[in-house]
């Protein structure tokens, strides 16, 4: 009689980017963020929709789940919040809360709530937050052993951790603890420059190349004391996140010359210089930590997770100039990935199950772990909504799409399983021709409805990556920034005098739409084994039009999550200036659509994310 499969459900929730993931006998079956179902970006609520999807994809009811693993220890987080609050609260309140019985405190975010929400009566585990991050990076990696670095805002107490992963165990070596946090430092500058915390950090990173690091010395002299091993302490007198509702205070504002920028207000040269400065300081800290980890562990492999590991500029620096031979970055590096890490920790560590690694191949399944919709599903939707379309043989879709791109059309691309993590990787993407000098501006202003300075990423077939970019490894998850090869550049003379956002006017390479102002690009390499339809389309574009890469940006507009369903895709398509939508084997032409199909209330002000 065949042994019954063991299913483990991982959950992250209540802070930001709630998610669920499910394993069958240790294999990833499904994972998704709650935001994709609720359409609320970075939704922190309990991921009931993501859980429902995971159970459906695995084909099991909740009663068949062996273990539910929650991605942190909520009681420790409650203790941290309580201690932080008590340090500022009146003495009477401090005494009252301190005397509160432990059993009352434990009712907050504990097992009863999870059991009630799921209707689950089995084992519930609570690995620590940074342990979940570490597990999410190490266990899917192709390495039998590796050093692990996790950096984020804050977990329960830890804000960064260094661990060693060997076979099916993870041992945390050291931590940096709240309130000293590289993630919160970066978020403070995100807030100060007018972007939303836990959402706009990548905007700050994208803004950095427009400025100069004029404030880097001020930051290292006044705000952060960095030791040789990369450990650090913040001067908390400049920050407000421990006690208030804002990240920074008057002392911080005076240091950098004024009040925080209001959202949608004009970006000044000062903001660009500040962005450049905090990016440089962040890179300095990360590189010091990485070098120290290598020196103390002697490991060849490094795994990265935590929200700061989405800083692909710093990642690119680690890959190019760091001492490690190989690095693996969890594609859902922020709290969403904690759901997967918690489940993997339960399988390998709680149940003691061994790992099987394949050299050079991770077990993340190209992070295509979300819902898929068949041609039958899509055709049924189009027919029910009376949407005009053309259907083609599936093997014609790559070539037809490549031709439409070459004709300078912006295309919504909806194929296969949705990506798990913040990056669109060729399943829920908006595509364009990277050779066009105007395409970056067109997609930003008229399709994504977002800031003009935001760069776009290239998706390039792996065989041609080295020809265009200075990469020495694969980059399947779009988490590494690399310089554009000099043979593809068009140098801009220094005397052109372009500064700030005016730098966008210069054509810097043969692929200007994906070349940032510092000649860099956030690269995704694509293998046919990972995503055959997407690969074939890019290859066709290269063979027919001389460019083996395309613009790839996420299929959404500013302030909204990446699309999940055909209805999400069609609504987004109709609200923007995309000319075509390619879903499965179907091509939908904007010119043939009834514009009144999208209700007036659907066309709203796009909120800054």
What percent of the chain stands above pLDDT 70? 91
Sheet holding 27-33, edge to edge: 27-33, 19-24, 7-12, 65-70, 123-125
In angstroms, the CA 526 to CA 211 distance is 32
Cis peptide before 149 (omega within 30 of 0): no
Q: Tokens at residue 506, please?
A: 């210069």
Quote the pLDDT of residue 86.
52
Average pLDDT of the segment spanning 585-595: 95
Q: What value does the CA radius of gyration of the chain take, rounded to a whole number of Å? A: 24
pLDDT class of 430 with cuts at 50, 70, 90: very high
Query: Quick one: which of 590, 524, 533, 554 has its CA closest to 415?
Result: 533
CA distances from 407 to 309, 547, 549 (A): 37, 13, 15
Average pLDDT over residues 18-40: 98
Mean pLDDT of 308-334: 97
Give 202's pLDDT tier (boundaries 50, 70, 90).
very high
Indicate the average pLDDT of the chain. 91
Which range (164-168, 222-226, 433-437, 440-444) has the least confidence? 440-444
Question: Whole-angstrom Cα distance, residue 169 to residue 350?
Answer: 10
User: Taking the model in full, what pTM does it have?
Assistant: 0.93
CB atoms within 10 A of CB 1: 3
How confident is the model at residue 606, as a pLDDT?
37
Distances (CA, A) of 124 to 106, 110, 134, 342, 346: 14, 10, 19, 11, 10
- CB 225, CB 212: distance < 8 Å: no
Three-class secondary structure of residue 39 per DSSP = coil
Coil, strand or helix: which one is 296?
helix
Exposure letters 507-529 (e unless 16+ CB within 10 A, then b): ebbbbbbbbbbbbbbbbbbbeee
Q: Indicate if the pLDDT at residue 103 is higher than 70.
A: no
* pLDDT, tens digit, 9 for 90 and up, residues 60-74: 999 999 999 999 998
> Is the confidence at residue 89, as pLDDT, over 60?
no
**Average of per-residue pLDDT across 197-203:** 91
Among 49-53, 330-334, 472-476, 601-605, which is the least confidently predicted range? 601-605
Instruction: Tell me the average pLDDT across 11-35.
Output: 96
b/e map 411-428, b = 16+ CB within 10 Å: bbbbbbbbbbbbbbbbbb
Q: pLDDT tier at 87 (50, 70, 90 boundaries)? A: low
Confidence band for 84, pLDDT divided at 50, 70 and 90: low
Q: What domains can be seen in the chain, in order of their start residue? A: 177-329 (3.30.420.40), 375-602 (3.90.870.20)
Average pLDDT over residues 159-166: 98
pLDDT at position 492 is: 79
C-alpha 146, offset from chain centre: 22
Question: 3-class SS at 577?
Answer: coil
Per-residue pLDDT reduced to its tens digit, 475-510: 999 999 999 999 999 987 764 667 777 787 788 899
Token code pair at residue 309: 């590991």
The pLDDT score that the predictor gives to residue 95 is 59
Point out the least confidently predicted range of 258-267, 283-292, 408-417: 258-267
What does DSSP assign to residue 223?
A: I
Q: What is the pLDDT of residue 472?
A: 85
């Amino acid at each position: 009689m065949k042994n019954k499969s063991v299913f483990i459900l991982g959950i992250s929730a209540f802070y930001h980017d709630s998610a669920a993931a499910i394993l069958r006998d240790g294999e990833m079956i499904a994972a998704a963020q709650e935001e994709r179902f609720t359409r609320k970006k970075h939704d922190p609520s309990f991921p009931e929709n993501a859980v429902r999807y995971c159970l459906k994809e695995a084909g099991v009811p909740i009663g068949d789940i062996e273990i539910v693993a929650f991605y942190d220890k909520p009681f420790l987080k409650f203790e941290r919040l309580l201690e932080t609050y008590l340090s500022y609260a009146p003495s009477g309140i401090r005494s009252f809360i301190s005397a509160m019985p432990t059993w009352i405190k434990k009712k907050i975010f504990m097992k009863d709530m999870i059991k009630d929400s799921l209707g689950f009566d089995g084992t519930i585990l609570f690995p620590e937050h940074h342990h979940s991050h570490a597990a999410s990076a190490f266990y899917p990696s192709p390495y039998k052993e590796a050093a692990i670095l996790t950096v984020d805002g804050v977990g329960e107490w830890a804000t960064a951790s260094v661990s060693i992963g060997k076979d099916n165990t993870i041992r945390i070596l050291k931590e940096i603890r709240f309130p000293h946090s590289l993630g919160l430092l970066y978020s403070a500058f995100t807030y100060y420059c007018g972007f939303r915390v836990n959402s706009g950090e990548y905007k700050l990173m994208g803004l950095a190349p427009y400025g100069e690091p004029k404030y880097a010395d001020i930051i290292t002299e006044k705000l952060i004391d960095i030791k040789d091993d990369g450990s650090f302490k913040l001067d908390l007198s400049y920050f407000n996140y421990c006690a208030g509702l804002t990240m920074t205070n008057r002392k911080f504002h005076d240091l950098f010359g004024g009040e925080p920028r209001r959202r949608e207000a004009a970006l000044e040269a000062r903001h660009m210089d500040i962005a450049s400065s905090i990016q440089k300081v962040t890179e300095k800290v990360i590189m010091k930590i990485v070098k120290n980890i290598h020196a103390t562990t002697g490991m060849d492999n490094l795994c990265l997770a935590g929200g700061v590991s989405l800083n692909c500029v710093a990642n690119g620096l680690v890959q190019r100039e760091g001492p490690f031979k190989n690095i693996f970055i969890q594609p859902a590096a922020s709290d969403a990935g904690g759901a997967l890490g918690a489940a993997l920790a339960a399988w390998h560590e709680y149940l003691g199950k061994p790992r099987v690694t394949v050299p050079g191949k991770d077990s993340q399944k190209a992070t295509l772990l979300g819902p898929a919709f068949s041609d039958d599903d899509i055709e049924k939707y189009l027919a029910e909504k009376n949407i005009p379309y053309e259907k083609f043989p599936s093997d014609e879709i790559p070539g037809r799409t490549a031709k439409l791109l070459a004709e300078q059309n912006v295309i919504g691309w909806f194929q296969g399983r949705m990506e798990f993590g913040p990056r669109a990787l060729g399943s829920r993407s908006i595509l364009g021709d990277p050779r066009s000098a105007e395409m970056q501006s067109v997609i930003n202003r008229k399709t994504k409805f977002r800031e003009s300075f935001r760069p776009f990423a290239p998706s390039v077939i792996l065989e041609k990556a080295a020809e265009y970019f200075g990469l020495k490894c694969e980059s399947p998850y779009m988490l590494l920034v690399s310089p554009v090869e000099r043979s593809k550049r068009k140098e801009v003379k220094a005397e052109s005098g372009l500064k700030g956002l005016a730098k966008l006017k210069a054509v810097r390479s043969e692929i200007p739409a994906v070349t940032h102002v510092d000649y860099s690009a956030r690269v995704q390499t694509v293998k046919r084994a990972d995503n055959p339809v997407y690969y074939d389309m890019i290859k066709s574009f290269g063979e027919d039009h001389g460019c083996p890469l395309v613009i790839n940006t996420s299929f959404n507009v500013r302030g909204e999550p990446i699309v999940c369903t055909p209805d999400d895709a069609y609504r987004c398509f109709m609200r923007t200036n995309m000319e075509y939508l390619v879903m499965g084997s179907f091509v939908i032409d904007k010119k043939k659509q009834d514009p009144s199909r999208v209700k007036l209330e659907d066309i709203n002000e796009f909120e800054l994310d």
